[in-house]
Chain A
């Protein structure tokens, strides 16, 4: 009953201010290090390319690669699940 009412009154839609807040936090971190989300993506692609020369990367599943604010400083946080080591090629 409460659920139906809630839906009827739009109570369960995510308030748009949460979107605003999330987008803002994201923006400010990128502004602080002057690195756009697009540049971060590009950096990720390049790093992934290097990593995959050594280990097999679980393609995108659970891959995390982002900027985070930790007490005033910005940190690059990444978590890249790998499957198994690729046989190294002597080159």
Chain B
């Protein structure tokens, strides 16, 4: 059975594109046939994060307007074999596409793939409506910040209003040291407020920047902690139960150790 999942957030810059690319890689490496679709028309980025920008000939708008066939526009990622990208148009705007056209496109894609992942643009306007139109399921990405969580709450309401099932949450850019010192909300704090199931947490990590520089998502790298976080989230998406939580260590410096030893600071691990 194939499934279309939209990755959305409300607030911009919280990691939707990073998440879509990494989950695409993780699911494809796990054996699934996956298409990632960039719905951020006018501001395409997923191609760059995946390192496929030089291979674009046709895009999503070309397919929708009938200028090419779906197969001609899909770019196969040679590093993962079963991963394909459908890029967004760069010189058009979000109104070039309607929700009905998106639904039709997704139906066509679902016939070919196990998973279709949609990278949603920021905001709650036309681009968002297009991106959720054909989705069976939604993943909300947030960071542990007041503004991002507020917007996530709004989006959760809109996803439910669109009659999609209850969305699931990914908390991105978690800093274990700040969580331990009480300067960043932890997953329990966030889940208490948003009250939706958690798929996993991703640490704030330089791997994300380095891999973006190279166009090689962290989920390709077996040594990367960010890659591992996304691979486990991928397994949970496929419905695998009891995927162990990641444990993120932080500061083991002298003062932190002393504080912990005296019982003045909470444990030095964050799991998710």
Contacts and interface: CB of A to CB of B under 8 A. Distances in A.
Interface of A: 2, 5-6, 9, 11, 15-18, 20-21, 23-25, 27-28, 31
B182 to A, nearest CB: 3
Given A17-B182, A31-B150, A31-B154, 8 more contacts: A9-B259, A16-B182, A16-B183, A17-B184, A20-B145, A21-B192, A23-B146, A24-B149
A3 to B, nearest CB: 11
Query: Which of under 10, 10 to 19, 20 to 34, or 35 or more describes the interface residues of B?
Result: 20 to 34
23 contacts: A5-B264, A6-B264, A9-B259, A11-B259, A15-B183, A17-B184, A17-B185, A17-B186, A17-B189, A18-B182, A21-B189, A21-B192, A21-B193, A23-B146, A24-B150, A24-B193, A25-B193, A27-B146, A28-B150, A28-B193, A31-B150, A31-B153, A31-B154
Contacts of B264: 5-6, 9, 11
A28 B153 contact: yes
Interface of B: 145-146, 149-150, 153-154, 179, 181-186, 189, 192-193, 255, 259, 262, 264-265
Q: Is the interface of B mostly helix, strand, loop or mixed?
A: helix
Contacts, number: 45
Contacts of A17: 179, 182-186, 189
Nearest to B186: A17
Contact of B185 (A5, A11, A21): A21
Q: Is the interface of A mostly helix, strand, loop or mixed?
A: helix
A8 B255 CA distance: 12
A37 to B, nearest CB: 14
A9 B258 CA distance: 10
Contacts of B154: 31
Contacts of B192: 21
Contacts of B182: 15-18
A6 B127 CA distance: 51
Nearest to B264: A11
A6 to B, nearest CB: 6
A17 B265 CA distance: 15
Contacts of A28: 150, 153, 193
Nearest to A14: B182
Contacts of A21: 185, 189, 192-193
